Chains A and B, each alone.
Chain A
Amino acid sequence: MLTFVVRRVFQSALVLLIVGLVAFSMFRFVGDPIDNMLGQERTDADIARLRTELGLDQPFPVQYVKFLKGAAEGNFGVSYRQGRPVSTILVERAPATLELAAVSGFFAITIGIGLGVFTAIRRDGFMANMIMSVSLIGVSLPTFLIGILLIYLFAVELGWLPSFGRGDVVHIGWWSTGFLTASGLKALILPAITLGLYQMTLIMRLVRSEMLEVLRQDYIRFARARGLKERSVNFRHALKNTLVPVITVTGLQLGSIIAFAIITETVFQWPGVGLLFINAIQFVDIPVMAAYLMLISVMFVGINLIVDLLYFAIDPRLRVDQKGAK
């Protein structure tokens, strides 16, 4: 198992290096930042000075190594637009996105697994069929449309929930949280549902089909034949076996919740890193874009590593170190 973990860590590092290269290439190939930073009234001397200041006159590999060094220390340079260090901006923005992702991830997993199990057990029931039909809407409607519809219904027509922003936040150290105020919690509801709805339907459909597969297995028939209660058969025996493949997909989906937050954050003007990224693209603010790319890839790689380790926790067949019996 240790071999496995070490190998996975190496693989993850390699992935990050490659993503780093892509992120860094943006500096070289996506326009010239000097153009944006200096106004119309620039002189050649200004340009040369700024070039040296930013280290853009050095050869490509040297710049890459410098970039990696900086990235490892959390230093992504200075935002072209705001003139402040990117790391500071990210720290300000990250809590908003992470809280939104956590709430919608929690919503997607709990409701998704719950409904998945329900629709699998009551396979031919009226409610199960209804849920399955409605879930098609969840998969097929684009996120921004769902967001706009929710805003129209709950913010404009009913007026129950705010249509944009995070509400009031409380600062705990550098972290700003919306969990502790009523307006913060209220502001979370609509964006969280918008962001999590697609993942929820996906998880639900996956759990359902896996569960139906597991319920056909011999050990489930055998558990029934021993007279065990339905609840025990469904949850103790079937659900755990269902989760093994579900975890893989769920892990990837959690990564994409953070990545896809861009759209939701734009619709709800949520002050997170997604919105930051969109604004950065509009202004060709490359340090911010590069940092965002690195941040997302670290998340993805980290989540996948955790998923792989979870396999060991759930499936004893993978723990090959234990002595086998003949």
Chain B
Amino acid sequence: MTLLTIEDLSVHFPTRHKVFVAVNEADLTVEPGEIHGLVGESGAGKSTIGAAVMGLLDRPGHIAGGTVSFKGEAISGRDAEAMRSLRGAKISMIFQDPLTSLNPLLTVGQQLIETIQFHLKLSEGDSRKRAVELLDRVGIPLPEERIDMYPHQFSGGMRQRVVIALALCSEPDVIIADEPTTALDVSIQAQILELIKELARERQTGVILITHDMGVIADTTDKVTVMYQGAVVESGATEQVMGNPQHDYTKSLIAAVPRPTLKVHRFPQLSYGGRSIEFHIDDLARNWQKPEPSKSGTLLKVENLTKTFLQKGALIPSRRKYFKAVDNVSFDIRDGEVFGVVGESGSGKSTVARMIATLYETNGGKITFDETEVTALSSNRDLEGYRRQIQMIFQDPYSSLNPRMRVDEIIAEPVKHHKLLEGAAIQHRVDELLDRVGLGSEAGRKYPHEFSGGQRQRISIARALATQPRFLICDEPTSALDVSIQAQILNILKDLQEHLGLTMLFISHDLPVVRQMCDRVGVMRQGQMVEVAETEELFANPKEAYTRELLSLMPKLEGLSTEGLKDEII
């Protein structure tokens, strides 16, 4: 019997000026034991469907049409109290961020027991027993001890297991998982997805898996529904939709996914909904002052780099605890290459980048840039010349631009700081850069909040290029972006590197992206550089066990359609 049926569901958010249609006549069904993927880019309305089913729509959002039925009985349109009794009991939900999904002031046990007592009407002791069983079931070791701990004492992956345990408290028939693995590392992601698959199979639970990640969809789901701007554009068995997409939007979405097994020259810009951008790299290259290539062929040399952070302060120095974020790391970056650094969160890859950018001081080791030892420079004045030549692009396009500054001020700031140009020439450079990254010079008179995430990342790129640097540090430049926007940004970076002769340090946790972008790759783990190799060599013949493990966890995406990619495959 079909567990959940969504028919012609429309969700409206009335605003002062007009009604925003978040979901427009969407259909979806979930059978017992089935994992149904709901995929789309941000703003597609996929999370809104989840919230509508749960009766948890934020005001003033409301169901404007269609029905949601649970086991054949309509549940939409019930009053708040009736919805509440259904929530948790029959339908549970898992949220994206395990760090914020748990109440920080209550122990894991208190939260589990409260929920179990409420739903199953068990005694305190029995509830506790059941809570321990659940923690054990979701794979938390030593559940009797862990039950009395607070959420902050668990790691991210363990917290997401606790969240799943909480969702299972009432033995629900349907679980709605809203981006359950987006905030997690690949290895943890694989474990959590495996757990969700097991639960669906063993308990015959129906799962709606909301995600923007094609890899997760391809590896985990049985069926998939693709959404675009609130409407369902395509739905069907996962293999069929992924392998032979019918709708143009699905095709463009799939074409933009970086493949772990294929290297492409450029990401195809199958434009759907007017998304492709103009980008004039040739003009920029003409005015670019290319520096003399370094004599040795090595632009940046990092030797035995080390960074420690104070973990626990104490009055007595011997009782202080330090954490080695970067431990004796050495590598070279050749002039004109893209050097990738991959690793899971906490592996120290961003710390390395920040030390190279002189944002952190080193606790040992040497950084040499074009024959000059940077770590030996002490005064700010000596460092200025070096800082002009290296620029950084950060991960989060929302917090890396000052919201109180106009875009042209943001881009002009490094030029003014380094006194590279004066007067009208500054504005001219700013206009040129904005033009070149496809935003147009009129964008300079706006403020950052008027731009989307991808546009902001292009502003960041323009800012990084303003000083005509030789070396660009990109710290996860696309992890906060949708896959089609990611393709655009990666294309821009590729073009810059090719035409301007830039050298790049490219940091990412996403192996397929690294494969598309980098000439050589270093793998980091727990502050140490595990392996450095040519990209193709690393993917074909990983030497270290940890690299092999990382590669094996990477979604293979072999079933994905290669339509539109064929001309670009190298």
Q: Which residues of A contact B (CB under 8 A)?
A: 3, 7, 217-219, 221-230, 232, 236-237, 240-241, 244, 314-317, 320, 322, 324-326
Instruction: Give chain A residues whose Cβ lies under 8 Å from the Cβ of B169.
Output: 226
Does the CB pair A225–B105 fall under 8 Å?
no
Instruction: Give chain A residues whose Cβ lies under 8 Å from the Cβ of B154.
Output: 325
State which of B94-102, B490-498, B521-529, B556-564 sits at the interface with chain A. B94-102
A320 vs B93: C-alpha distance in the bound complex, in angstroms? 31
Cβ-closest chain A residue relative to B85: A227
Least CB distance from A84 to B in Å reads 46
Least CB distance from B170 to A in Å reads 7
Least CB distance from A91 to B in Å reads 39
Q: Is B454 an interface residue (CB 8 A)?
A: no
Given B100, B149, B153, which contacts A219 in the complex, CB threshold below 8 Å? B100
Cβ-closest chain B residue relative to A241: B105
Does the CB pair A225–B114 fall under 8 Å?
no
Does the CB pair B153–A224 fall under 8 Å?
no
Given A219, A315, A317, which contacts B101 in the complex, CB threshold below 8 Å? A219
Q: Which residues of B contact A (CB under 8 A)?
A: 54, 56, 84-89, 92-93, 95-97, 100-107, 114-115, 118-119, 146, 149-150, 152-155, 158, 163, 166-167, 169-170, 312, 314-315
Could you write out 11 A-B pairs with CB less than 8 Å apart? A7-B315, A222-B93, A225-B92, A227-B86, A227-B170, A228-B88, A229-B118, A240-B106, A241-B104, A316-B105, A324-B153
Given A226, A244, A316, A322, which contacts B115 in the complex, CB threshold below 8 Å? A226
A226 vs B56: C-alpha distance in the bound complex, in angstroms? 11
Instruction: Give chain B residues whose Cβ lies under 8 Å from the Cβ of A7.
Output: 315
Least CB distance from A300 to B in Å reads 26
Given A225, A240, A322, which contacts B93 in the complex, CB threshold below 8 Å? A225
Given A218, A227, A230, A324, which contacts B118 in the complex, CB threshold below 8 Å? A227
Given B100, B103, B150, B314, which contacts A223 in the complex, CB threshold below 8 Å? B103
A42 vs B103: C-alpha distance in the bound complex, in angstroms? 74
Instruction: Give chain A residues whose Cβ lies under 8 Å from the Cβ of B153.
Output: 322, 324-325
Query: Knowing A228-B114, A316-B150 touch, does A326 contact B155 (C-beta < 8 A)?
Result: yes
Instruction: Give chain A residues whose Cβ lies under 8 Å from the Cβ of B118.
Output: 226-229, 232
Given B92, B107, B150, B158, which contacts A226 in the complex, CB threshold below 8 Å? B92
Instruction: Give chain A residues whose Cβ lies under 8 Å from the Cβ of B101.
Output: 218-219, 222
Least CB distance from B66 to A in Å reads 21
Does the CB pair B88–A226 fall under 8 Å?
yes
Query: Knowing A217-B100, A222-B102, A229-B118 touch, does A3 contact B314 (C-beta < 8 A)?
Result: yes
Instruction: Give chain B residues whose Cβ lies under 8 Å from the Cβ of A314.
Output: 105
Does the CB pair A227–B100 fall under 8 Å?
no
A241 vs B107: C-alpha distance in the bound complex, in angstroms? 13
Instruction: Give chain A residues whose Cβ lies under 8 Å from the Cβ of B87.
Output: 224-227
Does the CB pair A325–B158 fall under 8 Å?
yes
A116 vs B153: C-alpha distance in the bound complex, in angstroms? 31
Query: Knowing A226-B88, A227-B85, A316-B105 touch, does A325 contact B167 (C-beta < 8 A)?
Result: no
Cβ-closest chain B residue relative to A214: B103
A58 vs B152: C-alpha distance in the bound complex, in angstroms? 59
Cβ-closest chain B residue relative to A319: B150
Cβ-closest chain B residue relative to A316: B150
Q: Sorted from nearest, which 3 A-B pairs have the closest CB atoms?
A: A227-B88, A227-B87, A226-B88
Instruction: Give chain B residues whose Cβ lies under 8 Å from the Cβ of A226.
Output: 87-88, 92, 115, 118, 166-167, 169-170
Instruction: Give chain A residues whose Cβ lies under 8 Å from the Cβ of B152.
Output: 316-317
Does the CB pair B97–A232 fall under 8 Å?
no
Known: A3-B314, A217-B100, A227-B118. 6 other contacts (CB 8 A): A219-B103, A229-B84, A240-B106, A317-B150, A325-B153, A326-B158
A282 vs B104: C-alpha distance in the bound complex, in angstroms? 53
A228 vs B86: C-alpha distance in the bound complex, in angstroms? 10
Instruction: Give chain B residues whose Cβ lies under 8 Å from the Cβ of A325.
Output: 146, 149, 153-155, 158
A217 vs B96: C-alpha distance in the bound complex, in angstroms? 12
Q: Which residue among B54, B107, B314 has the maximum number of chain A CB atoms within 10 Å of its CB?
A: B54
A184 vs B358: C-alpha distance in the bound complex, in angstroms? 69
A315 vs B146: C-alpha distance in the bound complex, in angstroms? 18
Least CB distance from A103 to B in Å reads 30
Does the CB pair B115–A225 fall under 8 Å?
no
Does the CB pair A222–B166 fall under 8 Å?
yes
Cβ-closest chain A residue relative to B142: A325
Instruction: Give chain B residues whose Cβ lies under 8 Å from the Cβ of A230.
Output: 84
Instruction: Give chain A residues whose Cβ lies under 8 Å from the Cβ of B163.
Output: 222
Instruction: Give chain B residues whose Cβ lies under 8 Å from the Cβ of A228.
Output: 88, 114-115, 118
Does the CB pair A221–B119 fall under 8 Å?
no
Query: Knowing A236-B114, A325-B146, A325-B153 touch, does A221 contact B84 (C-beta < 8 A)?
Result: no
Query: Knowing A227-B88, A316-B150, A325-B153 touch, does A237 contact B93 (C-beta < 8 A)?
Result: no
Cβ-closest chain B residue relative to A225: B93
Instruction: Give chain B residues whose Cβ lies under 8 Å from the Cβ of A236.
Output: 106, 114
Instruction: Give chain B residues whose Cβ lies under 8 Å from the Cβ of A322.
Output: 153
Least CB distance from B333 to A in Å reads 33
A244 vs B105: C-alpha distance in the bound complex, in angstroms? 10
Instruction: Give chain A residues whose Cβ lies under 8 Å from the Cβ of B167.
Output: 225-226
A7 vs B315: C-alpha distance in the bound complex, in angstroms? 10
Least CB distance from A268 to B in Å reads 41
Does the CB pair B85–A222 fall under 8 Å?
no
Query: Knowing A3-B315, A237-B103 touch, does A232 contact B114 (C-beta < 8 A)?
Result: yes
Q: Which residue among B101, B102, B119 has the maximum number of chain A CB atoms within 10 Å of its CB?
A: B101
Does the CB pair B95–A222 fall under 8 Å?
yes
Instruction: Give chain A residues whose Cβ lies under 8 Å from the Cβ of B103.
Output: 219, 223, 237, 241
A230 vs B84: C-alpha distance in the bound complex, in angstroms? 9
Instruction: Give chain A residues whose Cβ lies under 8 Å from the Cβ of B89.
Output: 227
Instruction: Give chain A residues whose Cβ lies under 8 Å from the Cβ of B97.
Output: 218
Cβ-closest chain A residue relative to B84: A227
Instruction: Give chain A residues whose Cβ lies under 8 Å from the Cβ of B105.
Output: 240-241, 244, 314-316
Cβ-closest chain A residue relative to B316: A3
Cβ-closest chain B residue relative to A226: B88
Least CB distance from A242 to B in Å reads 10
Least CB distance from B101 to A in Å reads 5
